[in-house]
Amino acid sequence: MLVLARKVNQTLVIGDNITITILGIEPDQVKLGISAPPHVSIHRLEVYEAIKAANISASKAEVAMAEELGKWAKKGRNAIGGRLDKKDT
């Protein structure tokens, strides 16, 4: 891992079009300003890991389970009237 020391308001450049600026330093926190092209995803690692885990878990769903859920909403449509019909999609 490359380790660089930077002060407040100093910036790093990664590649041609990503910059990271140190906006503030507190005893146990730094504030970073990141500028990158829209196709470059930027996530907090713990959030990224949680969503990755959720996606991997979601990829293990089986058809039978989906059909079981499907039965409920069909009945639910009768039970709660028009509400399901107002969905945004």
Closest approach, Cβ 34 to another protein, in A, equals 12
**CA–CA distance, 22 with 14 (Å, rounded to integer):** 14
The only residue of 2, 16, 57, 82 in contact with another protein, by rule CB under 8 A: 57
The DSSP bridge pattern shows strands 11-14 and 29-35 to be unpaired
- Identify the H or E element spanning 23: strand 18-26
Please give the helix or strand (H or E) that residue 54 lies within, else none. Answer: helix 45-58
Taking the least distance from each CB to another protein, the nearer of 31 and 74 is 74
For another protein, give the closer residue by CB, 7 or 86: 86
In the complex, the residues that contact another protein under the rule CB under 8 A are 38-39, 41, 43-44, 47-48, 50-63, 65-76, 78-80, 83-84, 87-89
